[in-house]
Structure 1
Amino acid sequence: MNYNSTRDSHRTASAAEAIATGISREGGLFVPERFPQLTQERLLQLSKLSYIERAKDILGEYLTDFTEEELYRCVSGAYAGKFDDESVTNLARLGDNAYLLELWHGPTCAFKDMALQLLPHLLTTSAKKVVDGKEIVILVATSGDTGKAALEGFKDIPGTRMLVFYPEQGVSPMQKLQMTTQEGGNVAVCGIRGNFDDAQTAVKRIFTDQALAGRLEQSGRMFSSANSINWGRLAPQIVYYISAYCDLLADEEIALGDPINICVPTGNFGNILAAYYAKRMGLPVAKLICASNENNVLTEFIETGVYNRNRPFHTTISPSMDILISSNLERLLYALADNDDAQVRALMDSLSAEGSYTLPAPMLERLRDEFAAGCCDDGATRAAIRATFDTYSYLCDPHTAVAVKVYQDYAARTGDATKTVIASTANPFKFSHSVLEALGEPAEGLAEFELVERLAACTGCEIPAGLASLKGRVPRFSDVCDREGILDYVVEQLGL
């Protein structure tokens, strides 16, 4: 299995090369040259396996330059004993036709752990194959959860260095505390005066800075990414959608071959793209439902074919989705264009120059065949949190609540009764203030851990150990820079 760049189909890389470099040098993203296929017989076999065994089996199709021993060591190292649920993920029923796929049982209480506990193992194994001896410098732009999950995954991993950038005013207090108190001698964290798109644009620009890459090369180092632009971040996410189907099959909630829908709260488009790739592999998926908050650039895109980032940016109670430039959408464009890199380049050039692009009619038709979309504002998000708790005694965070609301709207609008898996992406205690307000409980004026304890008291839900342990911790990192200063910060931290 080789990988091609979305902006140059002639540029190929092995799995190890794609993971180690993170992004192609002309700015394109690596995509698999083909999708391995899942037969019904194989899905039945997978339904009898553990999550670790499923992950090893599925990822083995994509990481063909990894030995079986290497792959098993990577997967076991990521998931064995690292999650508070032995099954790694969990499915919770929500009414007759919906199931919440809980992806937040890892050490940082967010779905990013599903990939970022595995990526350090994949990256270090890849580096030994293709760039042995170089230190890997990992740059991360985060809207909240990726930063902490990456920091936790890579802390004190030999041969790596990590620099994380987050919007100083654009994450929850708990997310900020998780990042700024991070342990590890090889990590640094910096807030930026701007939003996630500013951080992501600056980091991607650094990746394609050839002069800086040369200076880094001379120092025996190279850049890589832990964002979902890295194939090693995205591939593990395919696994949990296939695994969810297998769990429904094993629990006799569906019959072999029955289609399901998948609804995902979406910002950078990586999580729902993984579901799309699972469908490309043959997973019986009827509709992919893209759920957005008030930053509804993706909803408009799926409905009209126009992607336009020239719009007001909203800071919402679902901050990890406060994104107007969805990087992984480029991979979907490549698929919709039948791997026509010239068409992808034209669209991305238009986005860079004009801030927008319009899909050709054939691509829009294919997009609408695969995807539905919806969005909701903070008021509807709060109402969904309250209604879900009152009706089902289930407490969900503001991102999951967006997906619940959008799914319910979709089902009411279409009458589609297909059983649907909704990605539940974070533990609600990461957003205690917003969740308490949604439940009608007083929250103003309380310190972060007073909020956490009140939420536990009024709901009967348990505070996750990974969050409870942060109480009283003093931040290690307090650096803040303007978005224009990110490059200078990187150069200074690396002594270049």
Structure 2
Amino acid sequence: MELIYRSTRNANETATASQAILKGLANEGGLFVPDSIPALDVSLEDLAKMNYQQVAYEVMKLMFTDFTEAELKHCIDSAYDSKFDTPVIAPLVNKAGAYYLELFHGSTIAFKDMALSILPYLLTTSAKKNGVKNEIVILTATSGDTGKAALAGFADVPGTKIIVFYPKHGVSPIQEKQMVTQKGDNTFVVGITGNFDDAQTGVKKMFSDAELAKYMDEKGYQFSSANSINIGRLVPQMVYYVYAYTRLVADGTIKAGDKINVDVPTGNFGNILAAYYAKEMGLPIAKFICASNDNKVLFDFFQTGTYDRNREFILTTSPSMDILISSNLERLIYKIAGNDAEKNSELMKELTTDGVYTITDDMKAKLAEFYGGYATEAETAATIKKVYESDDYIIDTHTAVAATVYEKYVAETGDKTPTVIASTASPYKFTRSVMNAIDPEYDSKTDFELVDELEKLSGVKVPQAIEDIRSAKVLHDTVCDKEDMLAEVKGFLNI
């Protein structure tokens, strides 16, 4: 049976999986959500015997029902190959009282590779299926990691162009260098004099501009998204939670059917929502631990039921979480509102106009399986040092936020359920913050001297992604005000 996707803001707007992937964002700023989430039709014991690619097929075939088996397997096999530095794709490592799911073994050493390695294949397959003749323009806002992973995935892919906007002063030096040195005739990178929310708002505005869409079509282009607002990003993220669970079954840590907790450092809410969708599919997850940094808008929401972005935006050492408008939360709001597009749309309008909305008590009661916590900058640094000293294991700043919140959760609840922590980036991506946390003496060294020190300390070889940018030439140096984003898009496309 074909799974239908529907807009969170208009119950009458529907799409197949391939149409939703192509479009990225629904009309009126809505997000595409499945009408239902099918149950896994292979046992957890059988999934435990499969490799990553096989698990990916068993999950994705249920969500992307208008793809043939051959099409889907081609996308999966093309994505999860030697671009990853381990055949396991996403290793699960038992350290410091939890299971760290290492999602950073792809070509740009961050978890975004897990979905952005496959999205170009899903998108180009979707274009063929739907007879698209226009060139597809991938329009993306990034808080640091999505940008590079999307650029790497779409560089020189025929029939596509990719434009990435990032906050000029809101990403790590390594993140910025990775983006601005990106090769590919179809790539364009722009720093904006604003924060991530400004970039994301600007991109969403272009997506929801009907006149602009018509103009683009006349010029032979159409927009699509590589952000986690695209269902083609979200579904591949469901896979690694199923995979992690079945590894715990395979090694005898748990029995099939036993519950686990999942702890995710969270900014835009896509990564933790993928875990929630995996539970809807039948994965036995007890608690979703939503970890925030000092930009704790999600923590406050889970505490109070009020989402309020009217607050100071704080730049932290975990920049991929420096977000005050968590776009994917809308999909969860739609769900707990009883799949009521009208109610959801009303709340999202309040967020746009007033910067705040409050859910009903009935809706809040449906969030009982979520636990919100946050870590300060000092706590994050202390956790990096502590995990290194106790387990000889070095984690990045985002993973350290999650580890800190997990420790608080256990202290508060006494819950010792086996817990998978989503380790979202290699420490090499945030070398200065990580090394300073271990010993402030490192601060006098240059970024690449710190890379070499980290290799000595961790015993983990410097990733190719870092070696590649040591002496790479800057190819993108455009910076604009947030009001000029559309002008930059038109300039790049010569329209």
| TM-score of the superposed pair, with normalisation by structure 2 | 0.98
**1:441: how far off?**
4.3
Rounded Cα–Cα distance in structure 2 between residues aligned with 1:182 and 1:106:
16
How many residue pairs end up in the alignment? 493
**1:10: how far off?**
1.8
CA displacement, residues 426-457 of structure 1 (integer Å, 9 cap, x when unaligned): 00011111011100142334322112112222
Instruction: Name 2:171's counterpart in structure 1.
Output: 171
CA displacement, residues 174-229 of structure 1 (integer Å, 9 cap, x when unaligned): 00000000011110001000100000000000001111111110011100000000
**1:307: how far off?**
0.2
Q: How does 1:93-242 map to 2 (within 5 A)?
A: 93-96=94-97, 98-242=98-242
Q: How does 1:235-250 map to 2 (within 5 A)?
A: 235-250=235-250
Partner of 1:289, secondary structure, is: strand
Rounded Cα–Cα distance in structure 1 between residues aligned with 2:14 and 2:468:
45
Instruction: Name 1:463's counterpart in structure 2.
Output: 462
Rounded Cα–Cα distance in structure 2 between residues aligned with 1:271 and 1:365:
22
Rounded Cα–Cα distance in structure 2 between residues aligned with 1:131 and 1:450:
51
Rounded Cα–Cα distance in structure 2 between residues aligned with 1:309 and 1:159:
38
Instruction: Name 1:283's counterpart in structure 2.
Output: 283
AA aligned opposite 2:27: R
Q: Retained in 1: the 8 A contact 2:40–2:59?
A: no
List gaps (5 residues or longer) in structure 2.
none
- 1:402 paired with 2:401, answer yes
AA aligned opposite 2:11: S
Instruction: Name 2:355's counterpart in structure 1.
Output: 355
AA aligned opposite 1:258: D
- 1:420 paired with 2:422, answer no
Rounded Cα–Cα distance in structure 2 between residues aligned with 1:186 and 1:472:
22
Rounded Cα–Cα distance in structure 2 between residues aligned with 1:12 and 1:181:
39
CA displacement, residues 94-126 of structure 1 (integer Å, 9 cap, x when unaligned): 244x10000000000000000000000000000
Rounded Cα–Cα distance in structure 2 between residues aligned with 1:474 and 1:450:
19
Q: How does 1:44-59 map to 2 (within 5 A)?
A: 44-59=45-60
Partner of 2:442, secondary structure, is: coil
- 1:306 paired with 2:306, answer yes
Q: Retained in 1: the 8 A contact 2:8–2:31?
A: yes
Instruction: Name 2:69's counterpart in structure 1.
Output: 68
Instruction: Name 1:36's counterpart in structure 2.
Output: 38
Rounded Cα–Cα distance in structure 2 between residues aligned with 1:74 and 1:184:
21
Rounded Cα–Cα distance in structure 1 between residues aligned with 2:32 and 2:416:
36
Partner of 2:290, secondary structure, is: strand
Partner of 1:444, secondary structure, is: helix
Instruction: Name 1:296's counterpart in structure 2.
Output: 296
Rounded Cα–Cα distance in structure 2 between residues aligned with 1:458 and 1:422:
23
Q: How does 1:331-480 map to 2 (within 5 A)?
A: 331-367=331-367, 369-480=368-479
Rounded Cα–Cα distance in structure 2 between residues aligned with 1:444 and 1:260:
39
Partner of 1:10, secondary structure, is: coil
AA aligned opposite 1:85: T
AA aligned opposite 2:101: L
Rounded Cα–Cα distance in structure 2 between residues aligned with 1:184 and 1:79:
21
AA aligned opposite 1:83: F
Rounded Cα–Cα distance in structure 2 between residues aligned with 1:460 and 1:327:
38
CA displacement, residues 110-162 of structure 1 (integer Å, 9 cap, x when unaligned): 00000000000000000111242211001010000000000000000000000
**1:82: how far off?**
1.6
AA aligned opposite 1:34: S
Q: How does 1:260-271 map to 2 (within 5 A)?
A: 260-271=260-271
AA aligned opposite 1:421: V
Q: Retained in 1: the 8 A contact 2:96–2:390?
A: no
AA aligned opposite 1:154: F
Rounded Cα–Cα distance in structure 1 between residues aligned with 2:96 and 2:182:
39
- Give % identity: 52
**1:459: how far off?**
3.5
**1:495: how far off?**
1.5
Instruction: Name 1:19's counterpart in structure 2.
Output: 21
Rounded Cα–Cα distance in structure 2 between residues aligned with 1:225 and 1:27:
12
Rounded Cα–Cα distance in structure 1 between residues aligned with 2:208 and 2:335:
23
CA displacement, residues 393-443 of structure 1 (integer Å, 9 cap, x when unaligned): 110000000000000100111000100000000000111110111001423
Alignment RMSD (CA, Å): 1.0
AA aligned opposite 2:375: C
Rounded Cα–Cα distance in structure 2 between residues aligned with 1:441 and 1:458:
14
Q: Retained in 1: the 8 A contact 2:61–2:72?
A: yes
AA aligned opposite 1:27: G
Rounded Cα–Cα distance in structure 2 between residues aligned with 1:49 and 1:460:
30
CA displacement, residues 222-280 of structure 1 (integer Å, 9 cap, x when unaligned): 00000000000111000000110011100111011100000000000000000000111
